[in-house]
Structure 1
Amino acid sequence: MTVIAALLMGAGVLLIAAPWLWPRRSDASTSRRALKPLAELLARAGLVHASPLALLGVVALVGVVGAAITVLLVPVAALAPVAGLVSAALPIVALRARAAARRRALRQVWPDVVDHLVSGFRAGLGLPEAIGSLAESAPDSVRPAFREFRREYARTARFGDALDDLKAALSDPVADRIIETLRMAREVGGTELPGVLRALAQYLRTDAAVRAEVEARQSWVRNAARLGVAAPWVVLLLLGTRPEAAAAYNSAGGAALVLIGLGVTLVAYRLMVALGRLPEEGRWFR
């Protein structure tokens, strides 16, 4: 009996400590929170169905390959981690560039989308039918998302869920505002929706024109930042191919110089980018 009581007591203590010993749900939620920025980046880049874990794998692979190639070409040990870090950042930089280009392209598209919506309302279409008609009349870059909305709404007849899927597929702050305006019109009703949409289209056209002009004038800041980052490291790679320079950089002082240079370069680049960046709308209706 003593053994059985001891076993039961041990089992009870183990069950009490189980939430702290094996916090499966908390770990899963923590991992989801950690991967959420990558998932949002993929969505902004138009890769909604891509996995953040796959992106991490690509980042690690590119970093290892970049470091290996640098070690083979330039016999400077301190450059290997630098090259690995820079190479690993390339997929993220490419995704951010793709997301920025996609947002700029969509910024030109939304006024036309709103105009097509107003035309649908004038033609007597209901709200779901007017949105579904954008699968044929909207610009090519957003038609797939509206086709999916029309397919989802025809399958489930759940307007709110179909709008949520459409918002996730578009992943754009302007699209969020348009979709939430349509959702409110569906839930509240009223006759002011065409006028509100026309005013929104006019505002979007004005905002896109102002942003295009400012971005054209500030492009030199971004180009100067990229040139200022790349030029010293190109020179360092060329110097590293010489045996005497490689021997100097392989010393403790040379390695410290390379690492300090990397830190200064990153700080300077971030400052230059911050100076040339325009404020972007946040996605407040996710």
Structure 2
Amino acid sequence: MRDFSTDHHWLSINTATLRRQSGQEVALDLIMDQCAARGVRAISPWRDQVAAVGIDKVARQLKALDIELSGYCRGGFYPAADAAGLRAALDDNRRAIDEAKTLNAPCLVLVVGALPGALQGKPAYKDITRARGEVRDGIAVSLEYARSVGMPLAIEPLHPMQAAERACINTLEQALDLCDELDPLPTGEYGQGQLAGAPASLGVALDVYHCWWDPKLQQQIVRAGQGSASRLLAYHVCDWLAPTRDLLNDRGMMGDGVVELRKLRGWVEDAGYAGYSEVEIFSTLDWWQRSGEDTLATCIERHRSVV
């Protein structure tokens, strides 16, 4: 396993972690400057933050600061109430792929969606099997375009608590089943072959907040790393607080919760992952109330000491 104790070379900051500082919304251009000042060499920005600054300005600033991306957030949300909604989702995902390409992201992260309207408390339907079918069909269409421009797609399975509102793909096994169906690798089926080499066209973003509890996690990480190409496209870290005060916006700083972070990173690195550990923390009651300097300094220290 790589030694992170002496530097933060492999630390990336998901910009949601710093989108609110001292209780106030902060623009992406300032966040990039803050990261560069602390020697953070990678970020994963969100589309709304990019749009607020302007994608061309963001691209120029990334180049000037010598910052690269560990991923781009986000595509997905495929299910819809009707054909027009399904088409709109496909169009939006095509735009997200183009944005990711413009910013030279290594992958576009997909939060796939679930029951349409559930986030607003008015689900258009309750058939989660239908939603999963619409996710499958939507990814299949997006993947065809993504391949044509060379942009890998990374399915992010979300904790089952978010199965109704945000993602009906909830385990790494489900995500990898979709990958194998839609993007079969030419060699190296599950349980065979060598550790993967180049990234697959369709893979996974493994977020420890969503997957740490899964009794099949180690087995499925091994599966993701076997074959002719790696399915492990992104690795997100934070911690699960006990008790958790809010199931969406109370993620813990690494080391403050119950996740065995070193063990999990050992599993993903044994499976061939050698990319960034991307800190993604939504924290209304804690870290979003602190200064950006405090949050960044703590991310760096915990990356070295517990990740």
Do they superpose with TM above 0.5? no
**TM-score between the two structures when normalised by the length of structure 2:** 0.21
Question: Would you tell me which structure has more helix in proportion to its own residues?
Answer: 1
Question: Would you tell me which structure has more strand in proportion to its own residues?
Answer: 2
**TM-score between the two structures when normalised by the length of structure 1:** 0.22
Determine which structure has more spread, i.e. the larger CA radius of gyration: 1
